[in-house]
Amino acid sequence: MPTVEQAFTGFVLAIVALIVAIAWRPGSFHARGGKILAFVAFFLLPVLASVSGLAVHVEHSKTTEFCLSCHIMEKYGTSLHLADQDHLAAAHFQNGRVDREHACFTCHTTYTMFGDYKAKLKGLKHIYINYLGHAPAKIKLYEPFQNRECLHCHDGARSFEAQSDHQDIRGELTSNKTSCLECHSPVHDIDHQAGAKLWEEPKK
Amino acid sequence: MTQPEAQLTRRLRWAGSLISLGLLVEAGSLYALKALSFLAFAGIGGGLVAAGVGLFLYTVSAE
């Protein structure tokens, strides 16, 4: 079964072959149906391929590898591997509470109707700032982290609901009056990584 | 081949070359999970395809 990248490459090669057949074969443009075929090969198919490729890139941008490909994110990637399980992000990553291949996106998307799109637009802005603009020395979230993102997974989970600490402030957690991070921190400790013990991901 | 036909063929070949190159860059960019590959896709590949499609539409409309 070909991967989506291989399928896309095959599609592109087919378009290129069609373009070559039309543009480098004298008279084919003026032959019966030639203009329609040219319109398909030179306009419809390339546009379709580009839109498909964009959709693949959008899926790629949800991966941890994509997020950590920018130098500025390296320490955040390291924070996922800190052996000390008191670190929230590390505990989630290492214990499989989030899909490791989509770790950043799982917690940092917005679980609302258009949350994915907003996350993608923010991602575009990040790429622009990283490569074409001026990235700040220390990055921070645009707004305080919302409990909604935590409760997307934990709400209703036995391990979460059974905790009396959670029950006592259940309403405050739902309304975001009390942040989950008030008790569950540090999240990404990027300032104390020198010499810290790291967890090694088992090889598959 | 008359001069207008020769010009049409030349423009079609240029448009085809731009589109083909752009699509190949787009395809190549999919093999790397990096932010830079997205830039290559959108900036280089998308730009070349857009230029080629634009040239094709101009050629057809001027014909």
Question: Is residue B9 within 8 angstroms of chain A, CB to CB?
Answer: yes
CB < 8 Å to A126, chain B: 35
Q: Searching chain A, which residue's CA lies closest to the CA of residue B42?
A: A54
Contact A43, B17 (CB under 8 A): no
Measured between CB atoms, which of B27, B37, B38 is closest to A9? B27
CB < 8 Å to B29, chain A: 53, 57
Collapsed DSSP state (helix, strand, coil) of residue A82 = strand
User: Where do we find the tokens 């899926």?
Assistant: A59
- Entry pTM: 0.84
Contact B15, B59 (CB under 8 A): yes
Q: How far is B56 from chain A (nearest CA, A)?
A: 7
Question: Is residue B38 within 8 angstroms of chain A, CB to CB?
Answer: yes
Measured between CB atoms, which of B15, B29, B33 is closest to A42? B15
Write phi, then psi, for A84 (nearest 5 degrees).
-65, 115
pLDDT tens-digit map of B24-41: 999 999 999 899 999 999
Contact A186, A82 (CB under 8 A): no
pLDDT tens-digit map of A171-184: 999 999 999 999 99
The complex scores an ipTM of 0.93
Q: Searching chain B, which residue's CA lies closest to the CA of residue A4?
A: B30
Contact B60 A38 (CB under 8 A): yes
- Please report, as a single letter, which amino acid is at residue A100: R
pLDDT band at B1 (very low <50, low <70, confident <90, very high): low
Write phi, then psi, for A82 (nearest 5 degrees).
-65, 130
pLDDT tens-digit map of A71-93: 899 999 999 999 988 899 999 99
- CA A117-A121-A125 angle, 5° bins: 165
Distance CA A53, CA B28 (A): 10
Distance CA A44, CA B56 (A): 12
Beta bridge partners of A82: A198
Contact A24 B13 (CB under 8 A): yes
Q: Which two tokens stand for residue A57?
A: 């890139």
Statement: residue A120 has pLDDT above 90: no
pLDDT tens-digit map of A48-66: 999 999 999 999 999 999 9
